[in-house]
Amino acid sequence: MSDFKIASWNVNSVRLRAPQIIDFLDDSQPDVLCLQEIKCRNGEFPAEIFAKAGYENQMVRGQKGMHGVAIVSRHPLSELADPEFCEHEHARAAMATIRGIDICNVYVPAGGDEPDAKTNPKFAHKLNFLDRMKKFFAARQKENPKDRLILTGDLNIAPLESDVWSHKQLLKVVSHTPIEVEALNAIQKAGNFADIARELIPEPEPVFTWWSYRSKDWTKNNRGRRLDHIWVSPALREAALHHGVAGFEAHTPCRSWERPSDHIPITQMLRL
């Protein structure tokens, strides 16, 4: 048996923050890093930098100027077909098999400012994206309930009351509205996923992975949200719980780095 650490991070431009990402990799030493919002085309991805850091196995789904996801790994990876979650064909999902585990890296649309699908096309897009995710994972779970599967990424929803700085004040704010939380819960149920972070750190303890750039001092008011997630299928639940609370980490200090992403990386250790 051996440990396997997976990391997820919305970096908000992989080229801009490549040095920070490498610092994180050197310090945390994950086996796999799933990146979201890389904001570059495939050929612009800083592949050599990651290879020199030991992550020469790479899968990139880029797009000019926006979106984009990537998976970099210390171990060989086999690319799987991209899930068709996005009706607009944005680069928002990548899927690969690493050490016998299927890893699905997803960047869910933010959804704009108004939580009304009738008046806000971006919110309608988000709900459609989430519905496609639910159907995809329901089909996988039905076909093979013993799947070794990890769903990770910036899911752009904080589902629990203690996943946001103020449940009451954010109930009508996109990322924490009841309709989004219901949609995310439906995905979790469809895939029979375990939200390991919350099994290890139950409510009411807050867990945040994102703080707005609009806050002059994010540490002072700590108005965060838990938008980034690592979920596992039933076949991996015990492996993910093996190390207890020490197995999951939200790397909060990264938010204070110079010109940081508004998200921090999260990591989960599994005993395989």
How does pLDDT run across 73-122, given as a tens digit for each residue? 999 999 999 999 999 999 999 999 999 999 999 999 999 999 999 999 99
What pLDDT shows up at residue 214?
86
Q: Which residues contact 83 (CB under 8 A, 6 or more apart)?
A: 93, 95, 104, 106, 132, 133, 136
Q: Over the stretch 164-210, which tens digit does the pLDDT of each residue have?
A: 999 999 999 999 999 999 999 999 999 999 999 999 999 999 999 99
- Predicted TM-score of the model (pTM): 0.98
**pLDDT (average), residues 256-263:** 96
CA distance 110 to 113: 9
Q: DSSP assignment, residue 257?
A: S
Query: Tokens for 214?
Result: 């609009």
Architecture of domain 3-271: 4-Layer Sandwich (3.60)
Phi, psi dihedral angles at 15 (to 5 degrees): -75, -40
Other Cβ atoms closer than 10 A to 168: 8
CA distance 126 to 123: 5
Query: Tokens for 34?
Result: 């799933």
